[in-house]
Amino acid sequence: MTGWFSFLNGEATAGDVLALAAVRDRLDADGVACDTAWSPVFRPGALTLDDADPGDYTHVVFACGPLHGPDIAALHERFAHCRRIAVGVSVLDPDDPAAAGFHTILARDGLDGVRPDLATVPPIASVPVVGVVLSLGQGEYGARRRHEDVADRITGWLAEIDCARLPLDTRLDSADWRLPATAGQLVAALARLDVVVTTRLHGLVLGLRAGTPVLAVDPVADGGKVSAQATALGWPAVLSAADVLAPGGADRLADLWAWCLSGRGQTAAQTFAPEPNPLLPALDDALRSQS
């Protein structure tokens, strides 16, 4: 099994990998044993095209993507004795060596009509969606800053979890389509998540306002405004920088992650209702004061 996900200079898209799964599932159902060649960049340690001995194979199946370019042409040369089949592909030019080298092409488009892409076939596991709201600034904390180290620990830990990670920013920008232009736009995005992981005060506050459980980490040594706000709001899912950076920090993150995704965590966020804020009455008093 090969595809664009097999080439060092190619890419593994979600659609490519789902198409691969569709073909592998069919081969498994038919009792046909197969190997998959992966880019060493995408799957370090897995079988690569360079490792695959052409003499071990009778067929090469190429799944998904456009048939063009020298990488596919080289595939024909390396596996010249194998029967080569392309399935679920786009054919731009049937005479291109990349396309012409296949014995059989089962195209999704470009030859004899159009067919649904193979990514429509295999089942897809449901995974939690996490919004990641990190701060790398806040120079006002000086030597107490642990922002970069905490962010590295969080992102490294998240990379090992089977979840959909969405980087978000509390910064508003009316000129950048990638950023929210209003607070309402940000809260709307936060409300559609399963969990928020944040080192920002407003990542915590707005995540809870959206009804989404928040795993908050205070990136300031000995505690800063994130810890203070978690106390003010009565929100329990907060860790200190020391908690995260110490040995076992990943376990502490995992414990709160599990709580946030549990029924208890979801209910706590959905029923979150802070006490009336005393700052605005205090402002009224300050404005009335003559002293």
pLDDT in tens, 58-107: 999 999 999 999 999 999 999 999 999 999 999 999 999 999 999 999 99
pLDDT in tens, 216-226: 999 999 889 99
pLDDT in tens, 109-137: 999 899 999 999 999 999 999 999 999 87
Residue 30: CB partners within 8 Å, gap ≥ 6?
Answer: none
pLDDT-derived band at 275 (thresholds 50, 70, 90) equals confident
pLDDT-derived band at 291 (thresholds 50, 70, 90) equals low
Q: What number is the average pLDDT over the span 10-37?
A: 95
Q: What number is the average pLDDT over the span 137-153?
A: 85
Residue 221: CB partners within 8 Å, gap ≥ 6?
Answer: 143, 144, 145, 146, 241, 242
The distance of Cα 178 from the centroid of its chain, to the nearest Å, equals 16
- The Cβ of residue 250 has, within 10 Å, a number of other Cβ atoms equal to 15
Average pLDDT of the chain to the nearest whole number: 95
Strand order of the sheet with strand 195-198?
164-167, 129-133, 195-198, 214-217, 238-239
CATH number of 129-270: 3.40.50.2000
What type of residue sits at position 171?
Answer: R
Assign residue 158 a region (left: φ > 0; alpha: ψ between -120 and 50; beta: otherwise).
Answer: alpha
If we measure between CA atoms, which residue out of 60, 56, 61 comes closest to residue 20?
61
Strand order of the sheet with strand 59-66?
59-66, 83-90, 104-109
Specify which residues 63 forms β-bridges with. 87
Q: Is the pTM of this model over 0.85?
A: yes
Domain(s) of CATH 3.40.50.2000: residues in the chain = 129-270
